[in-house]
């Protein structure tokens, strides 16, 4: 099941705390972490407001394949989204030979209500060149995206869904999306050599009453 978020009961749209604000726009931003769930469920991926340990912390495609992961957040009280949704997606490509690769990521935001999925916006990140460093290394980068969200009401029982998809990174290679809130370097592919974050971060913009 999607990870539930605990909100205050006093007032519509009141979240217990925000990570940062845009006072001029009347928006409070809450940071959520994409993760794979420990429990066995059809809802394999979720958005969590807390730094929790994931089941694995990464997902690989098949050889020459693509990835398309849905990270869900279950809403418990009425809330309104509006403004800029900011997303950081750590990706990589397992490369068995020396070659440079270019990989974009497609990010979409959905409202799911009564089992019906409605897209609110989307973006395609800049194609980042993953430079060949050494044979067998995983080329790892963080791609950032922004989705402009129209003013949208979410009622109790609705779901906010972030879809993250990668293109194939070569006929003989496997792409990977990292989603470890604990940012454990143990989850990096051997030979990566990167010290960048492997936490998938989503900053959701909620309307606040000033």
Per-residue model confidence (pLDDT) at position 11 = 44
| b/e per residue 74-90 (b: at least 16 CB within 10 A) | bbebebbbbbbbbbbbb
Task: State the CATH number of the domain containing residue 190.
Answer: 2.60.120.260
Q: Look up residue 127 and give its DSSP letter.
A: P
135 found inside a domain:
yes
- Please give the residue range of the domain that contains residue 150: 31-207
151 found inside a domain:
yes
79 found inside a domain:
yes
Q: Is the pLDDT of residue 14 over 80?
A: no
Cα Rg for the chain, rounded, in angstroms?
Answer: 18
Per-residue model confidence (pLDDT) at position 122 = 97
Q: Is the pLDDT of residue 132 over 60?
A: no
User: Which of these ranges, 13-17, 134-138, 146-150, has the smallest mean pLDDT?
Assistant: 134-138
* Mean of per-residue pLDDT scores for the chain: 82
pLDDT digits (tens, 9 = 90+) for 157-198: 999 999 999 888 777 778 889 999 998 866 665 445 455 678
Q: How many domains is the chain built from? A: 1
105 found inside a domain:
yes
């Amino acid at each position: 099941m999607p990870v539930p978020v605990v909100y205050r009961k006093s007032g519509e749209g009141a979240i217990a705390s925000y990570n940062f604000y845009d006072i001029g726009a009347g928006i409070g931003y809450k940071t959520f972490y994409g993760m794979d769930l420990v429990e066995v469920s059809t809802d394999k991926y979720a958005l969590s407001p807390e730094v929790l340990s994931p089941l694995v912390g990464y997902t690989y495609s098949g050889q020459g394949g693509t990835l398309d992961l849905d990270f869900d957040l279950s809403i418990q009280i009425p809330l309104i989204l509006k403004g800029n949704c900011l997303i950081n997606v750590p990706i990589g490509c397992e490369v068995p030979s020396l070659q440079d690769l270019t990989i974009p990521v497609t990010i979409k935001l959905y409202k799911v209500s009564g089992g019906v999925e409605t897209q609110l916006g989307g973006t395609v990140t800049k194609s980042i060149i993953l430079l060949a460093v050494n044979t067998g290394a995983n080329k790892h980068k963080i791609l950032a995206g922004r989705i402009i969200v129209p003013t949208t009401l979410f009622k109790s029982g609705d779901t906010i869904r972030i879809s993250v998809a990668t293109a194939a990174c070569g006929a003989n290679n496997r792409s990977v999306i990292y989603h470890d809130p604990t940012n454990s370097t143990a989850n990096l592919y051997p030979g990566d050599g990167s010290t960048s974050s492997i936490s998938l971060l989503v900053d959701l913009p909620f309307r606040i009453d000033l």
